[in-house]
Amino acid sequence: MYKVRADFPILEQQVYGKPLVYLDNAATTQKPRAVIDAMAEEYYTVNANVHRGVHYLSQRATDLHEGSREAVRQFIHAVSTREIIFTRGTTESINLVAACFGEQFMHEGDEVIVSVMEHHSNIVPWQLLASRKGIKLRVIPMTDKGELELEAYEQLFNEHTRIVSVAHVSNVLGTVNPVQRIIQIAHAHGVPVLIDAAQSVPHLAVDVQQLDADFLAFSGHKIYGPTGIGVLYGKEEWLEKLPPYQGGGEMIGHVSFEHTTFNELPFKFEAGTPDFVGTTGLAAALHYVEQIGIDEIAAYETSLTDYALQQLRTIPDMRIIGEAPERGAVISFLVGDIHPFDMGTLLDRLGIAVRTGHHCAQPLMQRLGIEGTLRASFSFYNTMEEVDALVAAVRRVSQMF
């Protein structure tokens, strides 16, 4: 795996005279040359607006853009490219479902089920809908180890339940939630499910058909692609029933002042000029990941995470936040009563980039009774030596307090 590091020039640098140890991959991943080059190449040689021109460059740009949609379809095993909507990222994808599904299928008193470990982007869009339409949020609780309580989840269903929206992998606890089971239970009640796959698609194989997910959202920048591009997968039967998200060019069939018709899927949900260079970058990133192999990535990152957990636990007063057995490449921790921000700032001076704070999951922090954590999150380009550097630095900093 170590040979891939050469593909990421940014990792070669030093910060404060120390080798950079980048362990903030859950926030965003670094970009391989293949992604940067594919985007630069498009700007240098192809750039033209898509779906609009009869001219050569526009047709080439359109082919690239639609080819990228096909690459996404293959990567998550969707049935059709009609089910792949390009968005700005996970946040916009979830907002789209909350707005459009909410508009069509939810009325005052109806309920959405989310979990206590959701990122704000899977809470606030539903709260906005609540303030517009008077719907209610119901919350799946979790154990102290950070596992969702499935019996309590089943109890939340009633005749008002319209949709379930849960994270596949927690960006704080690392817990891999049993989404297949969560979907089965929802479907047994006739309720569709949206999966927030921001932290799963980059790290483990995701097959929307096998999961039987109704909607699934992820971000390009967390899977080695560019910022500003993301995906909403939706089953065609659902997408057909939803109203458009935004109005503008691209999403229309015919416009007159008297009556406007809308474009077919997936364009109905893609108003305005799309980020067609971003989609090229995303496709290059997915191709890059496929070349390494998502199962190889999962296995390597698991060994890295297991090793890090084992080593971190040798530090006195270490508290790992999130002890679910099924976990991804994310470790949250606290040491004694050292404030995460203080520890994070000192780790930074030693070249170690981790995230500190509430990680956009304040209700989860409230459940845990803490204000925030330190969080190390891994990628396949991280090494065991970098884990050693993290552990040595945490030990050193904790001795200073």
Whose Cβ is closer to ligand C6P: residue 168's or residue 235's?
A: 168
Check residue 26 for interaction with ligand C6P (CB under 6 A). yes
List binders of ligand C6P among 224-253 (CB under 6 A): none
The string over 202-241, giving b where at least 16 C-beta atoms fall within 10 Å of a residue's C-beta and e elsewhere, is bbbebebeebbbbbbbbbbbbbbbbbbbbbbbbbeebbee
Check residue 121 for interaction with ligand C6P (CB under 6 A). yes
Q: Among 91, 95, 165, 177, which residue sits at the site for ligand C6P (rule: CB under 6 A)?
A: 91
Catalytic residue, candidates 4, 292, 309, 360: 360
Check residue 219 for interaction with ligand C6P (CB under 6 A). yes
Q: Among 46, 185, 355, 391, which residue sits at the site for ligand C6P (rule: CB under 6 A)?
A: 355
Check residue 171 for interaction with ligand C6P (CB under 6 A). yes
Total residues binding ligand C6P (CB under 6 A): 16
As measured in angstroms, the least distance from the Cβ of 147 to ligand C6P is: 16
Catalytic status, residue 100: no
Check residue 199 for interaction with ligand C6P (CB under 6 A). yes
Check residue 198 for interaction with ligand C6P (CB under 6 A). yes
Check residue 31 for interaction with ligand C6P (CB under 6 A). no
As measured in angstroms, the least distance from the Cβ of 359 to ligand C6P is: 5
Q: Among 176, 359, 378, 386, which residue sits at the site for ligand C6P (rule: CB under 6 A)?
A: 359
Q: Among 360, 365, 370, 392, which residue sits at the site for ligand C6P (rule: CB under 6 A)?
A: 360
Check residue 128 for interaction with ligand C6P (CB under 6 A). no
Check residue 90 for interaction with ligand C6P (CB under 6 A). yes
As measured in angstroms, the least distance from the Cβ of 174 to ligand C6P is: 11
Check residue 32 for interaction with ligand C6P (CB under 6 A). no
Whose Cβ is closer to ligand C6P: residue 285's or residue 315's?
A: 285
Whose Cβ is closer to ligand C6P: residue 73's or residue 355's?
A: 355
C-alpha 371/C-alpha 344 separation (Å) is 14
- Over the Cα atoms of the chain, what is R_g? 22
Check residue 95 for interaction with ligand C6P (CB under 6 A). no
As measured in angstroms, the least distance from the Cβ of 351 to ligand C6P is: 20
Check residue 351 for interaction with ligand C6P (CB under 6 A). no
SS (H, E, C) the chain: CHHHHHHCHHHHCEECCEECEECECCCCCCCCHHHHHHHHHHHHHCCCCCCCCCCHHHHHHHHHHHHHHHHHHHHHCCCCHHHEEEECCHHHHHHHHHHHHHHHHCCCCCEEEEECCCCHHHCHHHHHHHHHHCCEEEEECECCCCCECHHHHHHCCCCCEEEEEEECECCCCCEECCHHHHHHHHHHCCCCEEEECCCCCCCCCCCHHHHCCCEEEEEHHHHCCCCCCEEEEECHHHHHHCCCCCCCCCCEEEECCCCEEECCCCHHHCCCCCCHHHHHHHHHHHHHHHHHCHHHHHHHHHHHHHHHHHHHCCCCCEEEECCCCCECCEEEEEECCCCHHHHHHHHHHCCEECEEECCCCHHHHHHHCCCCEEEEECCCCCCHHHHHHHHHHHHHHHHHC
As measured in angstroms, the least distance from the Cβ of 36 to ligand C6P is: 19
List binders of ligand C6P among 174-193 (CB under 6 A): none
Which residues here bind ligand C6P, judged by CB under 6 A? 26-27, 89-91, 119, 121, 167, 171, 196, 198-199, 219, 355, 359-360
Catalytic residue numbers? 360
